[in-house]
Amino acid sequence: MDLDRTRPLDGKHIVVTGGTGSLGKVLVRRLLSGEMGRPRRITVFSRDEAKQHDMRLAYKNRVVATDEIVYRNFADLLTFVIGDVRDYHAVASVLRTADVVVNAAALKQVPTCEYFPYEAVQTNITGPENIIRAIRENGLRIETVVGVSTDKACKPVNVMGMTKAIQERVFTSANITCPDTRFVCVRYGNVLASRGSVIPLFHEQIRCGGPVTITTTDMTRFLLSLEEAVDTVFAAIRGARRGETYIPRVPSARVVDVARALIGEREIDTVVTGIRPGEKVHEILISEEEAHRSVERGRFYAIRPVLPELHDEAEPVAQLPGEYSSAGEVMSYDEVVALLTRQQLMVRDDVAEPEGVELLR
């Protein structure tokens, strides 16, 4: 497949499954900006009617302008389809005219997946398999599928990570069964201010006067913004080879430092509650077993596929020294404060919500 690396989505129909989620909303906004080219159509596919309605209203009659393009008719450019990735027929229908698919639909809350593991299987494994089956059985001319994964898929210890790890392998093997489509994945850690993440929880606890709950004082997390998560998706679309998984190179922090930075000078206590079911102390984005088949690509690492049929022997592998873990290069407290300030995520007492958080959601 010969893609224009600078404008790879020119004239393309892009389907975003789970498009009303935190990542999906920012991804759609960035797609509409034209930075990846001028799409022919963007379809938001999700099962949440209320979120679709809110998103539709937010874009209704809006004019989005860039240096090169002006979109005035969102009725044609941006479309919304109710459906569930678990439903093969709904998936096959929405993909009929698609060129690029970003699979952001997921069950991603760790405790929820522990209590309802088969629900996670249906969304995180059956959903991706439905995308592959629709392409294979209907001869769909889809160029690229990007599977959105998680650090928890690396050395998984919880149901969410296990199902996402299988999603990665399902998409990898699809490069052999659907040779005319490129299947790639992106894998990243904690996204700042996304729904269900720790920062909105800390914000709420601080506004209520505390206490701020910390699972363990040793815990570390990679920190990246939703914009950086979308950057990773775009980098994979531009440059990932078949079966590869793209990893962003981002800073990490101790969760206690994040809490301390957000609390600031307020007299608010912190309470250690213990690790939740299936939770990890440190995030790992590349394991020791994956390090020997990983390469550096600018601001990203690319993990080459485990299947030898998909290896590109022409590219030398610059073996990483070991696993890529959030425990490796942890930011200082001052660096954490600077990052949260830069992302406009510090708690302000004069507003209902810290500036910028609503956009990030």
pLDDT above 70 (res 72): no
Q: Return the CATH class of domain 13-360.
A: alpha beta
In the block, tokens 């660096």 appear at 335
What's the pLDDT tens digit per position in 43-67?
Answer: 999 999 999 999 998 887 665 555 4
Q: Which residue has the higher pLDDT, 137 or 3?
A: 137
Residues 6+ apart with CB under 8 A from 15: 43, 45, 94, 95, 98, 100, 101, 102
What's the pLDDT tens digit per position in 114-149?
Answer: 999 999 999 999 999 999 999 999 999 999 999 999
What's the pLDDT tens digit per position in 263-302?
Answer: 999 999 999 999 877 788 999 999 999 999 999 999 999 9
What's the pLDDT tens digit per position in 216-245?
Answer: 999 999 999 999 999 999 999 999 999 999
Beta carbons within 10 angstroms of residue 232's beta carbon: 22
Counting residues of the chain whose pLDDT is more than 70, the rounded percentage is: 88
CA 127 to chain centroid: 16
What are the residue ranges of helices labelled H in 60-126? 74-77, 88-94, 110-115, 117-121
> Contact, 273 vs 215, CB < 8 A?
yes
Beta carbons within 10 angstroms of residue 54's beta carbon: 12
What are the C-alpha distances in Å from 306 to residues 148, 154, 303, 313?
18, 14, 9, 13
- Indicate the domain borders of the chain: 13-360
pLDDT at 192: 80
Catalogue the active-site residues: 152
CA atoms within 13 A on the CB side of 239: 15
What's the pLDDT tens digit per position in 297-329?
Answer: 999 999 999 999 998 766 666 667 889 999 988
User: How far, in Å, CA of 181 to CA of 134, rounded?
Assistant: 12
pLDDT above 50 (res 354): no
Q: Which residue has the higher pLDDT, 344 or 122?
A: 122
User: How far, in Å, CA of 161 to CA of 158, rounded?
Assistant: 5
